[in-house]
Amino acid sequence: MPYKRTQVLVCAGTGCTIGNSGALIEEFEKEIKSMGLDKEIEVLRTGCLGLCGAGPNISIYPDNIIYKGVKKEDVKEIVQEHLYKGRPVERLMLNESDQETNEIHDISHTRFYQKQQRVALHNCGIIDPENIEEYIGQDGYFALGKVLSQMTPQDVIDIIKESGLRGRGGGGFPTGMKWQFAYNEPGDEKYVICNADEGDPGAFMDRSILEGNPHSVIEAMVIAGYAIGAHYGYIYIRAEYPIAVERLKTAIAQAKELGLLGTNIFDSGFDFDLEIRLGAGAFVCGEETALIQSIEGERGMPVSKPPFPAHKGVWGKPTIINNVETYANIAQIILNGADWFRSIGTESSPGTKVFALGGKITNTGLVEVPMGTTLREVIYEIGGGCPNHKQFKAVQTGGPSGGCLTEEQLDTPIGFDELVKLGSMMGSGGMIVLDEDNCMVDVARFYMDFIVDESCGKCTPCRVGTKRMLELLEQICDGQGTMETLDELETLAKTIQDTALCGLGQSAPNPVLSTIHQFRDEYLAHIIDKRCPAGVCKKLLRYEINKDECRKCGLCARQCPVGAISGKIGKEAFEIDPEKCIRCGLCMKACHFKVIERK
Amino acid sequence: MKSLDELKKIREQAKERMAVRGQEGQEYRVVVGMATCGIAAGARPVLNTFVQEVAKEHLPVTVMQTGCIGMCALEPIVEVFDKDNQKTTYVLIDEKKAKDIVLRHLMHGEVIDEYTVGHYSK
Ligand SMILES: Cc1cc2nc3c(=O)[nH]c(=O)nc-3n(C[C@H](O)[C@H](O)[C@H](O)COP(=O)(O)O)c2cc1C
Ligand code: SF4
Ligand code: SF4
Ligand code: SF4
Ligand code: FES
Ligand code: FES
């Protein structure tokens, strides 16, 4: 039978691959064969469906049913019940069904997907990323065909300008304008770079796009090359993304074979080729000037701007550098028009944004929403809120360059300018949810620790200054902080912002300033009361035995690894010596009468 | 790649192969009952006939299976839903009748009275 009646798409994104979705593919093939269905049903791999936390996930067409958390043992049941008899296995289904009629709702009407709109992630989870024909089947490379056969370079730049597309790599710089600068430069040796460094801890938007829809980036880079007059491109990607790198290699090879990369594409006389450059995964190499250095084979250290890359970039030639997600929007804008793109999102931030939801959130994973959606909708309706009935405390956006937003700010519509106004930023799309168990001073310390590790060391404010900031934060966490420490922290932060050479240093103080601004109380609790309200900062924890309630059994003393507990069995209530105590918590677990408290 | 036409050819082939994944803008949904009795009565070749014909003709139609429809004696049963979710139930369908339904109902919008459950129970 030439056409299959059913297709089983197994997620082969990094998240689900770690959950061993590879074994599911084999198991499905085996079971399908044993039921004699292999001529009717096909098993394929696809990209991220977004529900990575619940993975491995699979999707079944034409029924449009998603099964989550599928184990090898479940495969037989799915094949026998669903694929053979047409009865979906409800216990594994993401789809919700109607309480009364039992009718299974379409996947797009589930709480997780309802408010999402997939533009940059379109095709992810629907096509096989290792098959260029599936991409073409979804109108892939038709934007390139249109550009090369009907449009001048300036037409292309104009439509991108009109669309209002802004860079998704963090800064939000208007993409069309950037292309115009490079176009205006004379000469015909120019370059197109794709920034796939994605160094922000917790972020995996770009990786998922490259794994699930690699051709969208390749197609856009060729279009960009035509627009600015470049014939060569680099995709700079970290070596820690092996699946994405492999998919890209496959995609590039397939595009070359079909002549969608190479010489005289679409018989237009236009040539374009590209190569992958692997980065070692330093955060600073995501900064554009450092990235260019790295491509040239130098150490990845930033240089001062101007000159901007559009003027003097890689090999000293005009260069545009855009983020993966930025490119993933290009072909759609060309095919559907600037007005279509503007109809999504807000006036100042058109289109959608992909976020990697993580931290204390029920649905960890990848979501794409129109700009203007509120943080509350993303966190509660799509993300399902904090698990275990914990109280939401803050959401961190923008990673090590961003800041925290509080409960009161959750109704803010998402947009580049809106988030900056509140002292955070869009960043590349990491969104970490924090609950009552997170200490905000500790969060600031975490990001500063990351920065100290990642600072390239070229300029003093960042190399020395961030280290000093980290020390001050550690003092506060350890209960050694005073009000002067806090003042010093703020002064230092402002100095670094003003004097560091590159964006890494300039934005490094943001998480500290934002948490001081939003959660001053917590800083004061550490400094004045020597208390960590969330119970995270170990040195500030105190274990105390309630003397009146103690049954004098001595169990705790026996557990204590450092002999910090003294008393007389049956005679004298036991007591903890805070000087000796190393806050391991063993005594609290040991006490049957629950009379030991942590404060 | 020399021309858009060449690209279009690849797209057409891929679309046929991916037809089961099409979701938006579908005119009809064909649902074949595939519980035990349906399979025994020959629902499987009926289902596959629909899949092949629909893909071959590039019809905006989703073909799926379901479990027990509740009228075992009349299997194979095929339900055709239109855009407004109006249902036509065809009973005792075989491969030939399936082809008729594709041609007359799915391509030309004609309900084939003599195959419907209404006609049978009269
Ligand atoms: C420290 C630092 C790290 C960065 N990391 C990334 C990154 O991982 N990916 C990225 O696309 N842009 C990153 N950027 C932003 C890039 O410098 C550049 O602005 C961006 O790639 C431009 O593309 P866009 O206009 O499409 O967003 C980083 C910037 C700084 C200062
Ligand atoms: S700010 Fe930091 S990362 Fe940037 S150049 Fe200076 S030392 Fe290097
Ligand atoms: S917390 Fe650990 S170290 Fe401290 S008193 Fe209890 S058992 Fe001993
Ligand atoms: S285990 Fe509890 S009751 Fe027993 S001595 Fe220790 S604190 Fe007192
Ligand atoms: S990696 Fe499978 S759903 Fe994200
Ligand atoms: S099992 Fe076929 S209609 Fe009930």
Ordered by where they begin, the domains of chain A are 6-111 (3.40.30.10), 132-342 (3.40.50.11540), 352-435 (3.10.20.600), 440-527 (1.20.1440.230), 543-598 (3.30.70.20)
pLDDT at B23: 63
Contact B3 A266 (CB under 8 A): yes
Alpha-carbon gap, residue B37 to B21, rounded angstroms: 27
Contact B35 A265 (CB under 8 A): no
Contact A2 B67 (CB under 8 A): no
Per domain, the residue ranges of chain B are 25-120
Closest CA to B43 of B53, B35, B52: B35
User: In Å, how far is A151's CA from the nearest CA of chain B?
Assistant: 14
Per-residue pLDDT tens for A105-124?
Answer: 778 888 888 899 999 999 99
Mean pLDDT of A268-289: 94
Q: Chain B partners of A137 at a C-beta cutoff of 8 Å?
A: 10-11, 13-15, 17-18
Alpha-carbon gap, residue A443 to A532, rounded angstroms: 13
- Count Cβ atoms below 10 Å from residue A437 Cβ, excluding itself: 14
Contact A85 B35 (CB under 8 A): yes
What one-character-per-residue DSSP string does A547-565 give? TTT-----HHHHH-TT--E
Closest CA to A340 of A499, A162, A556: A162
β-pair partners for A323 = A195
Residue of higher predicted confidence among A523 and B66: A523
Contact B48 A84 (CB under 8 A): no
Closest CA to A113 of A366, A424, A356, A382: A382
CA torsion A542-A548-A553-A556 (nearest 10°) is 0
The mean of the pLDDT values for chain A is 93
The burial class, CB within 10 Å (0-12 / 13-18 / 19+), for A194 is buried
- Count Cβ atoms below 10 Å from residue A573 Cβ, excluding itself: 15
CA of A574 to the centre of ligand 4 (A): 7
Tokens, residue A501: 């050479």
CA of A583 to the centre of ligand 4 (A): 16
Checking ipTM against 0.85, whether it exceeds it is no
pLDDT band at B24 (very low <50, low <70, confident <90, very high): low
Chain A positions with Cβ closer than 8 Å to B: 1-7, 40, 61-64, 84-87, 126-127, 133-134, 136-139, 141-142, 145, 149, 258-260, 265-267
Cβ of A196 below 6 Å from ligand 1: no
Cβ of B46 below 6 Å from ligand 6: no
Mean pLDDT of A220-245: 96
Q: What is the DSSP letter of A249?
A: H
pLDDT band at A598 (very low <50, low <70, confident <90, very high): confident
Taking the whole predicted model, whether its pTM rises above 0.95 is answered as: no
Lowest-pLDDT choice from A128-137, A373-382, A530-539 = A530-539
Instruction: Pick the residue from chain A with its C-alpha nearest to B14.
Output: A137
Is-contact A104 A65, C-beta < 8 A? yes
Which fold does the domain B25-120 belong to in CATH?
A: Glutaredoxin (3.40.30)
pLDDT at B121: 67
Cβ of A578 below 6 Å from ligand 3: no
Backbone angles phi, psi at B37, to 5 degrees: -70, -35
